[in-house]
Amino acid sequence: MPQENEHVKCLIIGSGPAGYTAAIYAARADLKPVLYTGIVPGGQLTQTTEVENFPGYPDGVQGPQMMEDFRKQAERFGTDIRFGYVTSVNFSEDVHKVVIDGEHAITADTVIIATGATAKWLGLESEQKYNGFGVSACAVCDGFFFRGQDVAIVGAGDTAAEEATYLAKLANKVHMLVRRDEFRASKAMQHRVLNTPNIEIHYNTETKEIVGDGQNLTGVLIYNNQTLAERVLPVTGFFVAIGHKPNTELFQGILDMDINGYLITQPDSTRTNIEGVFACGDVQDHIYRQAVTAAGTGCMAALEAERYLAAKEYSMM
């Protein structure tokens, strides 16, 4: 529980792979970290089923179970894990101020931001119903489950084009659903898609419904937005690649971010433009977006926070 006028050495915002890994390292370095989970304790992986690509789980693991393991490991070394949502921050002074649930403030020498990103969905009820049972927002994570099968992917940007070509190596056939009569992807990426024989592009095409047997996805009901003609594509996998939104509203005008809102960190580092404030995981990574890379940068953030504090203490001696 927060105390009045509480001050901590290290405050971690977020409880995905990045936040929990930062907590493990910070706790073992005796920074006595306090971690706020946000409204999704465990982060994005709690919304998926099987995770097969995180090292150390030779038989795979359910996403929620894996995050439970992360939490236990962070707690084992004394991380103070609290349910709470950071509603505002003030990084204008030497000691950083963070407000939780709009109610109480904590000050911290170092802050590690691990608030992640949220995949954008089409917003169909059936899409959420079959999420993890044929519907996915991550081709690299879930493409392997659809080897030799027919799948569909929605999107027209660079990420969608890259994910479509990735899927094409695994799947029998990839139907690419493009809303307009052209791609948004760069010419180079378009070229790759157009030259991949097992990708069929459906222009002017939108998704009306995900079709399934109550358990698993069996197809997608699509329509042509010009002719309004409908048909069901028989696919077993449906990938949504219409983008991600980094959870950075809190830091607008305070921390440097790119045009899409991803936090900018210094090269080979998790340092932000504010001393003592570090960012790790998907909130600063729009390229890899994997649990293992999030965990890797979580480790970096904690090590950098520890070194920052050590240098500060040394300079005050």
Ligand X SMILES: Cc1cc2nc3c(=O)[nH]c(=O)nc-3n(C[C@H](O)[C@H](O)[C@H](O)COP(=O)(O)OP(=O)(O)OC[C@H]3O[C@@H](n4cnc5c(N)ncnc54)[C@H](O)[C@@H]3O)c2cc1C
| Contact set with ligand X (CB under 6 A) | 13-19, 36-41, 43-45, 47-48, 51, 53-54, 85-86, 114-117, 119, 136-138, 141, 247, 250, 281-283, 289-292, 294
- CB closer to ligand X out of 190 and 293: 293
Q: How far is CA 148 from the centre of its chain?
A: 27
Torsion, Cα of 238, 243, 247, 250 (10° steps): -150
Q: Which helix (H) or strand (E) holds 165?
A: helix 158-170
- CB closer to ligand X out of 89 and 183: 89
- CB closer to ligand X out of 134 and 276: 134
Closest CB 34 distance from ligand X, rounded Å: 12
Active-site residue 256, yes or no?
no
DSSP lists the bridge partners of residue 36 as 13, 82
Active-site residue 142, yes or no?
yes
Closest CB 56 distance from ligand X, rounded Å: 12
Closest CB 148 distance from ligand X, rounded Å: 19
Closest CB 127 distance from ligand X, rounded Å: 11
Q: Which of 138, 158, 256, 299 is catalytic?
A: 138
Is residue 28 exposed (0-12), middle (13-18) or buried (19+ Cβ within 10 Å)?
A: middle
Q: Rounded to whole angstroms, how far apart are CA atoms 111 and 42?
A: 19
Active-site residue 138, yes or no?
yes
Closest CA to 167 of 177, 182, 152: 152
The length of the chain is 317
- CB closer to ligand X out of 54 and 238: 54
Q: Which of 141, 150, 282, 285 is catalytic?
A: 141
Q: Which of 10, 80, 109, 142 is catalytic?
A: 142
String of b and e for 40-74 (b: at least 16 CB within 10 Å)? Answer: bbbbbbbbbbbbeebeeeeeebbbbebbeebbeeb
Closest CB 116 distance from ligand X, rounded Å: 2
Closest CA to 13 of 114, 110, 95: 114
- CB closer to ligand X out of 86 and 309: 86
Q: Do 254 and 238 form a contact (C-beta atoms < 8 A)?
A: no
Catalytic amino acids? 138, 141-142
